[in-house]
């Protein structure tokens, strides 16, 4: 395509043509200039088609939602002259809000790098590319546009890097898995380890009465801290989890996009599986909406954790009502032994709250359930705000009624022995980890 220089010369020729009305010689000169320009453009464009330029793109090892990632585009010039290029990187909206553009001048037989930073906005697999390049001709009269790189699928994972207390817990968990930094365990263990002769001072509840009757002398049970426990994570992927999890219009953690409740819940659930795997526990993640969406077992080890990230990174919320009874039945079916069940959800509907209560009570008969209720920022804003219209007043009353129902639900479940945690999105992972670890501290005390 013609460059700006061609249009500047054509504009000058137009002026000569207008002046040629008065001076015919200027008109003939304008025609000669235009003919020479077109010939030079044709020659220059043909020469530009043989320009040898190699372009490569290098992606970071991992793309994480809401975290900056640097992409490197390398341009190698195989010509004996400097080459000017204009690059345009086409990116999926899940990777960046807009395409990336730049202009480079690469020295003769030289190399140049274009580095740009993106902040992935949405989880899942997205297409990056194609990358288009416009290469300037030797005389600067033409641009040759080429498709330098094709489309390339890239995966965006949920949050994997944590700071603060959550980061410390995960660091200790990783080190424990490698056997370098054992954690201090308080209290008395509850996992049977061995039998030995009774000694003065042993707790009476540790006496093994069957062995005592069999051997004719007092025998006590020696316990250790429980390992190989079972964890079931129930992840709500229904309608309520599709909403934005923060009150701000723009979520600072996700750039100009936003993170949904499911984004936060999935990141917290995967962090919980890392801690469970480091303890040697057997974890199962079950995602559900009005049906069981996916089920992933994690047997411990980094390879199993990586496989879990690969199976769950692209979970999306479905616009359906949550079937908590289906989730409870799935938990019983997945683990027959008594296990710890952690359910991530966000209660924004009174009918769903009653169904959730019944499901948690049915789980409590066979397992140790923990309910993690992610607070809804819109409900809180409606309940605490001052309505300006009649419709706003009705919305405020409805929001207050839902919040009150949530408190009643939590109180009734706690009375029944279910641990309930109601928290905001920024504290979700920490509260889930603390609640899970507290279950073992209470059992060992």
Give the helix/strand (H/E) hosting 445. Answer: none
User: Which distant-in-sequence residues (6+ apart) come within 8 Å of 75 by Cβ?
Assistant: 53, 54, 55, 85, 87, 104, 106, 111, 112, 113, 114
Beta bridge partners, 341, equal 232, 369
Give the helix/strand (H/E) hosting 202. Answer: none
- Whole-number pLDDT of residue 27: 64
Cβ-count burial of 166 within 10 angstroms (0-12 exposed, 13-18 middle, 19+ buried)?
buried
Q: What angle do CA 374, 380, 382 make, to 5 degrees?
A: 140
Distance CA 341, CA 16 (A): 84
Helix axes 261-278, 428-444, angle to 10 degrees: 30
Low-confidence ranges of the chain (pLDDT < 50): 177-190, 225, 249-256, 444-445
- Whole-number pLDDT of residue 120: 93
User: Which token pair is 199?
Assistant: 């000694």
- Whole-number pLDDT of residue 186: 44
Distance CA 224, CA 350 (A): 44
Q: How far is CA 240 from CA 180, 243, 324, in A?
A: 42, 6, 13
Helix axes 24-48, 4-19, angle to 10 degrees: 170
- The model's pTM is 0.77
């Amino acid at each position: 395509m013609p460059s700006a220089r061609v249009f500047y010369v054509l504009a000058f020729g137009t002026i000569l043509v207008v002046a040629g009305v008065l001076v015919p010689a200027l008109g003939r000169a304008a025609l000669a200039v235009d003919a020479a320009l077109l010939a030079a453009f044709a020659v220059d464009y043909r020469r530009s088609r043989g320009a040898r330029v190699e372009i490569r793109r290098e992606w970071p090892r991992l793309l994480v939602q809401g975290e900056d990632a640097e992409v490197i585009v390398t341009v190698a010039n195989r010509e004996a002259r400097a080459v000017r290029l204009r690059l345009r990187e086409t990116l999926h909206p899940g990777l960046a809000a807009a395409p990336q553009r730049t202009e480079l001048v690469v020295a003769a037989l030289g190399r140049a790098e274009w580095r740009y930073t993106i902040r992935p906005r949405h989880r899942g697999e997205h297409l990056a590319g194609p990358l288009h390049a416009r290469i300037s001709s030797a005389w600067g009269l033409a641009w040759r546009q080429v498709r330098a790189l094709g489309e390339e699928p890239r995966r965006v994972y949920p949050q994997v890097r944590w700071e603060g207390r959550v980061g410390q817990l995960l660091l200790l968990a990783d080190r424990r898995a490698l056997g370098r930094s054992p954690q201090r365990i308080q209290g008395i263990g509850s996992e049977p380890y061995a039998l030995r002769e009774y000694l003065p001072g042993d707790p009476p509840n540790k006496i093994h009465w069957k062995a005592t009757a069999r051997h004719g002398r007092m025998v006590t049970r020696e316990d250790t801290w429980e390992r190989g426990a079972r964890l079931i994570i129930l992840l709500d992927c229904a309608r309520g989890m599709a909403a934005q999890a923060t009150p701000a219009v723009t979520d600072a953690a996700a750039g100009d996009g936003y993170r949904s409740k499911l984004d936060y819940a999935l990141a917290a659930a995967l962090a919980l599986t890392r801690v469970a795997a480091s303890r040697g526990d057997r974890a199962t993640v079950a995602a559900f909406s009005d049906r069981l969406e996916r089920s992933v077992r994690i047997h411990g080890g980094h390879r199993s954790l990586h496989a879990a990230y690969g199976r769950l990174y692209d979970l999306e919320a479905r616009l359906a009502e949550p079937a908590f009874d289906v989730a409870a039945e799935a938990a019983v079916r997945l683990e027959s032994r008594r296990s710890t069940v952690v359910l991530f959800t966000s209660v924004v509907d009174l009918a769903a709250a009653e169904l959730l209560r019944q499901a948690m009570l049915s789980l409590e008969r066979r397992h140790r359930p923990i309910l993690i209720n992610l607070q809804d920022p819109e409900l809180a804003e409606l309940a605490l705000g001052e309505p300006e219209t009649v419709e706003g007043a009705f919305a405020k009353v409805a929001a207050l009624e839902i919040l009150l129902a949530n408190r009643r639900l939590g109180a009734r479940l706690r009375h029944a022995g279910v641990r309930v945690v109601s928290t905001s999105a920024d504290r979700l992972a920490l509260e889930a980890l603390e609640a899970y670890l507290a279950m073992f501290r209470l059992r060992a005390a």
